[in-house]
A and B are shown apart, each in its own frame.
Chain A
Amino acid sequence: MVIPCSGIGKVHGLIGREATYRVTDGLAYDKTATLCLALLVKGDPEAVEAVQRHRCITIDGCAKACAQKNVEMSGGRVAKAIQVAEAFRNFRGARPGTATALTEDGWKISEAIAQSVHCEAAELLGVEGTVR
């Protein structure tokens, strides 16, 4: 499971969200999925079961780490916790856009995170090279 935070105040939240779609709808569409973080907040049984049954990669936009914490509070297994801000280190001076829309720089950062998640997912699945 790839689970981004629901960050709505900063561009970081949108970058994580789009990186998730890049993985679950593209790079590894047949090996990964996402779910609504709000469902975990609600305690939805299916969502709770999903994070408990599958290894999770969380993508958080800020240090409050809502995605990671909510998965952990639901008894889920966070195999990798990614912070969007970390990815910015490789894009110094980038102007990524806003919480509403990404610029070209923002899409590049999102793609870098997606590639990282893709590699991590392949490693977790133990079938490196088979995740497209």
Chain B
Amino acid sequence: MNADATKVGIISCSGEALAGGTISRLATRRVLELLRPDRTVTLCLPLFLAGNEGERNFARTHPTITVDGCEKQCAKWGTETHSGPVSIALVVPEILGHAAEGCIRSTKALTQDDTEAVWAVAERIAAAVDTVLASATSAGAESTPVGAGKAQCACSSPLPGASLSIGGKTVEIPGLPLIFAHFAERAAKADGSPAAALLALVRIYHPVPPAEQDAYKDALLAEYQRFAGMQAAK
């Protein structure tokens, strides 16, 4: 493993012929941009054949998760055949079940079903990244501090975030506007305290120390109300 050993490689099938491929692609992008931006990298699957030796070594130099849009599992097969072993293989229909049936291929008119599907798969990928990283850490792999590297793929960069004042500290939460937008979509279905639901959603993307949960709730709720006000004014 190289110096990037604690960056997890995510290989999406990106299957162009089916909606599951679009979901796998968008969910992978979401993990790269928002959920685990400092811990993940990617590569176009066909580069294993069309690329050079360095690209074919990808799965030998990164613990790798494949994300396939259908049961044919081309990403898993292609990665293991042309590059190296896969740590975890995810399959979109196994994650979504029948929920994937209403999805479409183009991003031009994504529906609520598509949006929910992408979030669900992205969250599953993020959990798999955490599992792989925990395994790599326990195996003694060199750790790279979060935020030390911003390279996820050829041109990707993390989504803009927001700074909150929490317990007297300034805390940067990457992608917070997108998380708020997602919360707004879910809010209509949510029961109970909005602050607790907001904290539960943010914790998927950002570590929250147990002792600071109440402070996070207050700060997040205030920031979300400001966000909602701005959205309503648009």
Contact = CB atoms under 8 A, between A and B. Distances in A.
B105 A41 contact: no
A6 B16 contact: yes
Interface string B101-143: 0000111100000000000000000000000000000000000
Contacts of B74: 36, 38-39, 41-42, 44
A40 B13 CA distance: 11
A73 B42 contact: no
Chain A interface extent, by class: 35 or more
Contacts, number: 116
A99 interface: yes
A6 B108 contact: no
A64 B45 CA distance: 12
B77 interface: yes
A66 B228 CA distance: 43
Interface of B: 12-18, 21, 25-26, 28-30, 33, 42-51, 69, 72, 74-75, 77-78, 81-82, 105-108, 153-156
Interface of A: 3-10, 13-14, 17-18, 20-21, 25, 34-42, 44, 64-67, 69-70, 73, 99-102, 107
17 contacts: A3-B16, A8-B28, A9-B153, A10-B155, A20-B16, A34-B17, A35-B17, A36-B16, A36-B17, A37-B14, A38-B21, A38-B74, A39-B15, A39-B74, A42-B81, A67-B46, A70-B50
